[in-house]
């Protein structure tokens, strides 16, 4: 059992960990090594580097700094967060971890399903959360777009609800998944079709399948997917809603960095991470 699990190893997550660990709180950072900072060629607007610094270098320095003071850092894919009795579980592709508090600091998701028809049919049969919307597809035939662990997690959430589930890998390799009511199709997708709601999936070979709902689970779960799965309030812009203390609407869960919106800068992420870390310390003390 950890005092706090921080999801994300960028400036916000590491900054938070520096405070929680120095307050003698058992701290774990989980990340998938795919943060936006790594992709920055050179950062020249952050304090303390007279000649600038490459994003990858700053990212690695931050992780090493956290490890040097005793923060545990694990590279795993986060699937979902679960809550029960003011305690939390973080489910990854390899393990399940428990904690008394959570800080979400994984930034914004940058990979979206680039398929015609998705944008037009969002809210009309297109969903991004099986736990949130699965109820509306009881005994119906639905599809999940994706091929990785996140897609399999969404499929598992739909198993006891839907009549039939079709995993659409959109040209990717078929995952190892077996269930009586699950089919896997690997053909590339051309378009999602429907007049007022999702009706069919058209493949690039001109074949079609009928479906009553589609769950987008391509790539890995981002901050907004994790937020929706556990019931966090989000903004119209797709960010996690927090107050000035970085608190979400669920007691014990905090968010900081790019996932809260506003300016996407290292300085802002570091500040919010510090606030989140200090507030978690107060929360744990009063718990």
Apex 147 CA angle, 146 and 153, nearest 5: 80
- pLDDT tier, 112 (very low <50, low <70, confident <90, very high otherwise): low
Q: What share of the chain is helix, strand, coil (3-state, %, to 5)?
A: 30, 25, 45
As a whole number of angstroms, the longest Cα–Cα distance in the chain is 61
pTM: 0.80
Distance CA 128, CA 154 (A): 9
**Burial class of residue 184 (count of CB atoms within 10 Å of its CB; 0-12, 13-18, 19+):** middle
User: What percentage of the chain carries pLDDT values higher than 70?
Assistant: 98
**CA-based torsion, 75, 81, 84, 87: positive or negative:** positive
CATH numbers and ranges of domains, the chain:
4-110+221-286 (3.50.50.60), 126-216 (3.50.50.60)
- pLDDT tier, 44 (very low <50, low <70, confident <90, very high otherwise): confident
pLDDT score recorded for residue 238: 79
pLDDT at 111 over 60: no
Q: Under a CB-based contact definition with an 8 Å cutoff, are residues 227 and 240 in contact?
A: yes
Strand (E) positions, 102-223? Answer: 102-104, 126-127, 141-145, 164-168, 182-185, 189-193, 200-203, 208-210, 214-216
Summarize pLDDT for 230-267 with one digit per residue, the tens.
889 988 877 899 999 999 999 999 999 999 988 889 99
Q: Which two tokens stand for residue 258?
A: 């790019």
Q: Across-strand partners of 165?
A: 142, 182
pLDDT at 176 over 70: yes
Q: Decide which of 65 and 221 is more confident.
A: 65
What does the CA dihedral 29, 89, 240, 135 come to, rounded to 10 degrees? 150
Distance CA 209, CA 225 (A): 26
Of 9-18, 29-38, 259-268, which has the strongest mean pLDDT?
A: 9-18
Least confident span in 83-97, 124-138, 205-219, 269-283: 124-138
Mean pLDDT value of segment 65-93: 93
Torsions phi, psi for 142 (to 5 deg): -125, 170
pLDDT score recorded for residue 109: 62
Mean pLDDT value of segment 164-176: 93
pLDDT at 183 over 90: yes
pLDDT score recorded for residue 92: 93
Tell me the pLDDT of the chain averaged across its residues: 91
pLDDT score recorded for residue 272: 98
Mean pLDDT value of segment 214-242: 85
Q: Which two tokens stand for residue 24?
A: 């003698």
Distance CA 175, CA 149 (A): 9
Buried b (16+ CB within 10 A) or exposed e, 45-59: eeeeeeeebebeebb
Summarize pLDDT for 116-148 with one digit per residue, the tens.
998 888 889 998 878 778 889 999 999 999 988
Q: Under a CB-based contact definition with an 8 Å cutoff, are residues 165 and 180 in contact?
A: no
Distance of alpha carbon 126 from the chain centroid: 18
pLDDT score recorded for residue 108: 67
DSSP alpha helix (H) spans, 29-90: 55-68
What lies within 8 Å, CB to CB, of 282 at 6+ separation is none
pLDDT at 115 over 80: yes
């Amino acid at each position: 059992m950890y005092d706090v699990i921080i999801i994300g190893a960028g400036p916000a997550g590491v900054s938070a960990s520096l405070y929680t660990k120095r307050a003698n709180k058992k701290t774990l950072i989980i990340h998938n090594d795919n943060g936006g900072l790594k992709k920055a060629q050179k950062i020249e607007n952050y304090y303390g580097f007279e000649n600038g610094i490459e994003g990858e270098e700053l990212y690695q320095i931050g992780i090493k700094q956290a490890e040097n003071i005793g923060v545990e850092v694990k590279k795993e894919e986060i699937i979902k967060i679960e809550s029960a009795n003011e305690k939390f579980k973080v489910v990854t592709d390899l393990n399940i971890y428990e904690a008394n508090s959570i800080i979400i600091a994984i930034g914004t998701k940058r990979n979206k399903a680039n398929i015609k028809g998705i944008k037009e049919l969002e809210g009309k049969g297109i969903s991004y959360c099986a736990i949130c919307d699965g109820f509306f597809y009881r005994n119906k035939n639905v599809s999940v777009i994706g091929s990785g662990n996140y897609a399999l997690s969404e499929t598992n959430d739909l198993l006891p609800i839907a009549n039939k589930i079709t995993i659409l890998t959109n040209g990717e390799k078929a995952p190892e998944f077996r269930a009586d009511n699950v089919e896997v199709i690997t053909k590339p997708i051309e378009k999602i079709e429907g007049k007022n709601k999702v009706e069919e999936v058209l493949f690039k070979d001109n074949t079609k399948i009928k479906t009553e709902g589609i769950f987008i689970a391509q790539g890995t779960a981002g901050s907004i997917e994790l937020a929706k799965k556990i019931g966090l309030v989000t903004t119209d812009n797709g960010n996690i809603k927090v107050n000035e203390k970085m608190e979400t609407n669920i007691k014990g869960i905090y968010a900081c960095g790019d996932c809260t919106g506003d300016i996407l800068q290292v300085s802002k992420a570091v500040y919010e991470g510090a606030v989140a870390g200090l507030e978690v310390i107060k929360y744990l003390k009063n718990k």
